Structure 1
Amino acid sequence: MSKGNSSFERRRDRVRRSIKKVANGRPRLSVFRSSKQIYAQIIDDAKGHTVAAASTIEKDVRGQLKTGADVAAAEAVGKLIAERAKAAGVTQVVFDRGGYLYHGRVKALADAAREGGLEF
């Protein structure tokens, strides 16, 4: 076993490092996707707590979707996270894609969050 970071972990660290440079106190919209679900949360790094969260494992979202692992599910989570962020008083965020490429489900979530009123 190698003791070094995987390419995914290096990419994730590189993205987070660049986000911290440009954040200017804005919370970050962090995305995690597994093979079966997608999760999003808005994190205030200055205070160290989660402002809002949404995922495909929630009952109200799960009932509307065929599966939690497609673009439609990502769009639903993006709209939901935007609603919850606005309810919490957050309108501007920085997008943290983690180590994932900005394509497919990650892009769909980001576009839906923008349509929902988040600015990034």
Structure 2
Amino acid sequence: MAISKLERRNKIKRRIRKSLSGDAERPRLSVYRSNKEFYAQIIDDKTDKTLLSVTSLNVKEAHGIPKIDQAKLVGKLAAEKAVEAGINKVVFDRNGYLYHGRVKAFADAAREAGLKF
């Protein structure tokens, strides 16, 4: 019996999250990609608080451009906001997605803008 794409991603996500968590000194940078938008959150798992979040919905330049470029803009903005908030090191949570395409573009842009992971 074949499993659906969503079930497969959730299985991968659970496996990744077993060994990955964020704390005050190294919060977790979690990404989500829908068919149209790209979202990122920096989360402190010890206190269950979202420290900051960025989406392609909030970036005016992200409308009407290819999705991979949207992810790059969101990555750059997320890193700038994080550095501004005093967060330099994070743990990257790809959320069950393959490290490829938009997820990789986001991560590369965040690293270029100053985040370390």
What amino acid does structure 1 have at the position aligned with 2:33? R
Unmatched 5+ stretches in structure 1: none
What amino acid does structure 2 have at the position aligned with 1:72? D
Residue 55 of structure 2 corresponds to 55
**CA displacement at 1:18 relative to structure 2:** 2.2
Unmatched 5+ stretches in structure 2: 1-5
Change (3 A) 1:68 1:99: farther
| Two-structure CA RMSD over aligned residues (Å) | 1.8
Residue 70 of structure 1 corresponds to 67
Q: Does 1:119 align with 2:112?
A: no
4+ long deviations beyond 6 Å: none
Identity of aligned residues (%): 50
TM-score, normalised relative to structure 1: 0.85
Change (3 A) 1:33 1:68: farther
TM-score, normalised relative to structure 2: 0.87
Q: What is the number of residues matched between the two proteins?
A: 111
Counterparts of 1:68 and 1:106 in 2: how far apart (Å)?
Answer: 16
Counterparts of 2:55 and 2:102 in 1: how far apart (Å)?
Answer: 13
